[in-house]
Structure 1
Amino acid sequence: MTHKTWFQFGIGIILLLVIIRMFREVQDIFYPLMIVIETVFLPILLAGVLFYLTRPMVNWLDGKRFPKWSSILIVFALLFGVFWMLSTIIGPLVNEQMTKLIKNTPRMFHAAEEGISYIMNQRERLPESAMQAIEEALNKIQAMAMSFGTWLINFIQSLLQATISIVLVPFFLFYMLKDREKFTPFITQFFTGNRKEWVQKTLGDLDNTLKSYIQGQLFVSFLIGVMLFIGYLVIRLDYALLLALFGMATNVIPFLGPYLAVAPALLVAWAQDPQLVIYVSIIMLVAQQIESNLISPNVMGKALDIHPLTVITVILTAGNLAGIWGVILAIPAYAVIKTIVVNLYDMRREIKQAATKNV
Structure 2
Amino acid sequence: MKKYKIPWKLILALTAAVLFILNFSGVLQGLSLLWNAALPLILGGCLAFVLNLIMYPMESWFRNKSPKLEKKARPLAITLSLLIFIGIISLLCVLVLPQLVESIQLLIRTIPGYVRDLQEFLSKLFKDHPQIADYINSLNIDWNSMFQKITGFLSSGVQGALNSAVTVVTSITSATVNSIIMLIFAIYILADKERFVRLYHRLCALYLPKEKEARLTHILVTFDSSFRSFVIGQCTDALILGTLCTLGMWLFQLPYAPMIGTLVGVTNIIPMIGAFIGGGIGCFLVFTVSPMKALVFLIFLCVIQQFESNVIYPRIVGNSVGLPGIFVTVVIVIGGALAGVAGMVMGIPVAAAIYKLLSEYIAQKEIRAGLRPDPEQQPEKAGPAS
Q: Structure 1 length normalisation: TM-score?
A: 0.62
What amino acid sits opposite 1:173 in the alignment? A
Counterpart mapping for 1:247-258 below 5 A: 247-258=264-275
> 1 CA distance for matches of 2:362 and 2:219?
12
> 2 CA distance for matches of 1:321 and 1:89?
33
Counterpart mapping for 1:271-282 below 5 A: 272-275=290-293, 277-278=295-296, 281-282=299-300
Q: Which residue in 1 is equivalent to 2:180? A: 167
Counterpart mapping for 1:27-38 below 5 A: 27-38=28-39
Counterpart mapping for 1:1-359 below 5 A: 22=21, 24-25=24-25, 26-64=27-65, 70-82=72-84, 91-104=93-106, 165-185=178-198, 186-187=200-201, 188-189=204-205, 190-269=207-286, 272-275=290-293, 277-278=295-296, 281-282=299-300, 285=303, 289=307, 297=315, 301-308=319-326, 310-345=327-362
> 1 CA distance for matches of 2:91 and 2:179?
21
Aligned-residue sequence identity (percent) comes to: 19
Range that drifts further, 205-214 or 311-320 = 311-320
Do the aligned residues in 2 keep the contact of 1:243 with 1:265 (CA within 8 Å)? yes
CA deviation profile, 1:136-181 (whole Å, cap 9, x unmatched): xxxxxxxxxxxxxxxxxxxxxxxx9987744234423333333444
CA deviation profile, 1:257-305 (whole Å, cap 9, x unmatched): 3444434444544551425533564466458757976797468735331
Do the aligned residues in 2 keep the contact of 1:254 with 1:311 (CA within 8 Å)? no
> 2 CA distance for matches of 1:333 and 1:343?
16
Range that drifts further, 230-239 or 45-54 = 230-239
> 2 CA distance for matches of 1:214 and 1:323?
19
CA deviation profile, 1:298-333 (whole Å, cap 9, x unmatched): 68735331433x434433443344333333323233
Do the aligned residues in 2 keep the contact of 1:52 with 1:211 (CA within 8 Å)? yes
CA deviation profile, 1:70-103 (whole Å, cap 9, x unmatched): 2221113323543575577665443321212333
What amino acid sits opposite 1:319 in the alignment? G
Do the aligned residues in 1 keep the contact of 2:254 with 2:297 (CA within 8 Å)? no
Question: Max radius of gyration: which structure?
Answer: 2
Number of equivalences:
295
> 2 CA distance for matches of 1:214 and 1:248?
14
Structure 2 segments unaligned to the other structure (5+ residues) = 1-13, 127-172, 375-386
Do the aligned residues in 1 keep the contact of 2:314 with 2:328 (CA within 8 Å)? no
Q: Which residue in 1 is equivalent to 2:161? A: none
Report the secondary structure of 1:29's partner residue: helix
Report the secondary structure of 1:168's partner residue: helix
Deviation of 1:50 after TM superposition, in Å, equals 1.6
Q: Which residue in 1 is equivalent to 2:132? A: none
Report the secondary structure of 2:335's partner residue: helix
Structure 1 segments unaligned to the other structure (5+ residues) = 1-14, 123-159
Q: Say if 1:344 and 1:105 are closer, same or farther in 2 by CA, change over 3 A.
A: farther
Deviation of 1:43 after TM superposition, in Å, equals 2.9
Q: Say if 1:99 and 1:268 are closer, same or farther in 2 by CA, change over 3 A.
A: closer
Q: Which residue in 1 is equivalent to 2:151? A: none
> 2 CA distance for matches of 1:341 and 1:168?
37
Deviation of 1:184 after TM superposition, in Å, equals 4.8
Q: Say if 1:284 and 1:82 are closer, same or farther in 2 by CA, change over 3 A.
A: farther
Deviation of 1:214 after TM superposition, in Å, equals 0.8
Range that drifts further, 70-79 or 53-62 = 53-62
Report the secondary structure of 1:95's partner residue: helix
> 2 CA distance for matches of 1:107 and 1:37?
47
Q: Structure 2 length normalisation: TM-score?
A: 0.58
- Of the two structures, which has the highest relative contact order with CA contacts closer than 8 Å and spacing of 6 or more? 1
Do the aligned residues in 2 keep the contact of 1:270 with 1:276 (CA within 8 Å)? yes
